[in-house]
Amino acid sequence: MRPAASKPLDAGTGRVCASFDATSGAWLSIGSPHERHGFVELSAVPPFDEADRGDPAATRAHRGAMTRLDHAFLTVEIDGARPVLEPSDAGATPAWSGHGVRVEMLAASDADRIFQRWHVDAGSGTAPRVEIRVRGRLDRPALAEITETDRPTPTGARSRWRSHDGRLHLEARTLPARADVAVRGATVRWTEVDGGELVGRADWPDRRDALALEIEVALGGAGAQADPSPVGAATGDRLTRGALAYVRGCTALRTGVDERTILTDHRILPLSWTRDAYWQAAALLAADGPGDRARVADHLRWLWRRCDRPDGWWARSHHADGRRKDLAFQADQQLYPMLELADFHEAAGALPTGVDWATAVGRAWAASELRVDGGLGLLASGENAADDPTDFPFIAASQILRWRTAVRLEHLAAAGALAVDPGQFSIAARSADDAFAAAFVCDANPWPYAVDAGGRTLMYHDANDLPVALAPAWGFCAADDPGWRSTMAFAFGPANPAWVSGRLPGLGSLHTPGVWTLGDLQAWISARAVGDAPKAAAALERLERIAFSDGMLPEAYDPDDETPIRHWFAWPGAALAALRLSDEHGERIASPT
């Protein structure tokens, strides 16, 4: 198995989301938003040692533990062994097959439970012995970050399993949260073994050639109870299918009647960064499948109504219940919600109901503009897009994004969708353009990554800096602009500290070693901008090569052996899907303004 095929498989309903071992169908986790703790999950991953907070090696080791079969909370054994299964990529949710065994996932949209149906061939001899092993605990995930500013307080949760009428119930009263496990198609007798594990032996009611067993795992007990059904295959290329299925099921999760968070991922960091969420929303708007516009409308209400913003700005990250997690100020995080609102209006022809948009946008825009240096005209940031603090507060990508957002809001106001003076946005757009030219442009030299108030410049380019790569597509500059071309040439060369050499060299980030898939995405974006079809095709081929079997992309990978780094990360796949679909449907998201 190639390293990129090692990721667990995921399925979700838009209310609960789960991960499964790719070669046995074992349940690794099931999680859901929580009104007090942001997100809770049932898993058997060992607790993260709080003494290791801030240790990158310990953080990555904990993330790796999430992928391991020996940390599954529910496994099925046939005749004393876990079956060896082969996953199928034919549908939008996981399915497996093996010798005499077929497994499929079933779910109802917006339900609080997921079903797994096992079909076991009995053959002509004795019916196979089927056992279900269950363990694990309910708690908020560790939320361990590489660079952490505000550490979460341990919940102190304790879980307790009990069985009743053939069902298992797990309660963590201090959270509070509960999970339920039910089996249909056979009578199951549960016994407890060493270590608190519960083992259920399936007794079949009669002799059959094929045995059907349905395992239901519910979390929370407050969602829809519709009958489950197989989820049909999504359309599009493999990477687009994978990205959209993940967003719809596992990250765009309901938190209220008309609100929905969009998480960066459902396992490692089930938190919301507005940057990551923007690109996931962009993919939904570009796909425009059933319910996609409603998902984005719900997300906009969550962003603007639910998120805790006492001073008008979004924090680095927010819990799914809207509370702030990391309080650092990142300039681009203030702009993406406004850009998402403009994108939604262009797609739907109206703004979502339930928000006084003139007041809300005015407050958010004012909070962002307060960070613009009066003398330089540049928007300042406390951290870069890699979540790292910076001594150079004026980041080039943030200035381009400020310009883009101002132009889009000007159009929105001029169209009458936003009852504010469009002139303030046109003034800001001109100011951003002029300030960028004064601080970053020097003949045909590469643009600095960032500058400070004293005139110092930082020569660097990060895989996270999509606005720089998108500058021509957005209309900020021409594709033959000598400064932009020099910048992208610098980005993809050894002079850039973020460049990673090796058998598969590429653009990375000092935040995490390895070649980043966002860097490969930038290679595709820049090649497309200059009309270099071979380079664009090579970048797409690289992404296809690195993608996991379900079409998802890792955050990064080793340039020599392709070992993935951080298995769950929605942003790169969603951004690629948004841009490719936009190409097919009139370039709504990435078109020049």
pLDDT at 238: 93
Long-range contacts of 499-508 (CB under 8 A, 24+ apart): 500/559, 501/559, 502/558, 502/559, 502/560, 503/559, 503/560, 504/542, 504/557, 504/559, 504/560, 504/562, 505/559, 506/542, 506/559, 507/461, 507/463, 508/463, 508/556
pLDDT tens figures, 123-170: 766 778 899 999 999 999 999 998 888 899 999 999 999 998 889 999
Does the domain at 3-219 match CATH 2.70.98? Answer given as yes
The structural domains of the chain, with segments of one domain joined by +, span: 3-219, 238-584
Helix, strand, or coil (residue 180): strand
Q: Is the pLDDT of residue 587 over 90?
A: no
Enter the CATH code of domain 238-584. Answer: 1.50.10.10
Structure tokens at 33: 């938003």
Distance CA 588, CA 411 (A): 14
Q: Is the pLDDT of residue 359 over 90?
A: yes
Q: Are 381 and 388 in contact (CB under 8 A)?
A: no
Residue type at position 176: P
pLDDT tens figures, 449-489: 999 999 999 999 999 999 999 999 999 999 999 999 999 99
pLDDT at 589: 47
Question: Is pLDDT larger for residue 576 or for residue 148?
Answer: 576
Q: Is the pLDDT of residue 501 over 90?
A: yes
Q: What is the DSSP letter of 339?
A: H
Q: Are 338 and 406 in contact (CB under 8 A)?
A: no
Q: Is 196 left (phi over 0), alpha (psi -120 to 50) or beta?
A: left
Residue type at position 2: R
Distance CA 56, CA 449 (A): 25
Q: Is the pLDDT of residue 591 over 60?
A: no
Cβ atoms < 10 Å from Cβ of 535: 16
Q: How confident is the model at residue 1 (pLDDT cuts 50, 70, 90)?
A: very low
pLDDT tens figures, 479-500: 999 999 999 999 999 999 999 9
Spatial strand order of the sheet with 457-458 comes to: 394-395, 450-451, 457-458
Q: How confident is the model at residue 588 (pLDDT cuts 50, 70, 90)?
A: very low
Q: How confident is the model at residue 35 (pLDDT cuts 50, 70, 90)?
A: very high
Q: Is the pLDDT of residue 3 over 70?
A: no
Question: Torsion over CA of 171, 173, 174 and 180, rounded to 10 degrees?
Answer: 30
Percent of the chain with pLDDT over 90: 84
Q: How confident is the model at residue 379 (pLDDT cuts 50, 70, 90)?
A: very high
Q: Are 55 and 49 in contact (CB under 8 A)?
A: no
Residue type at position 67: T
Structure tokens at 408: 């889009």
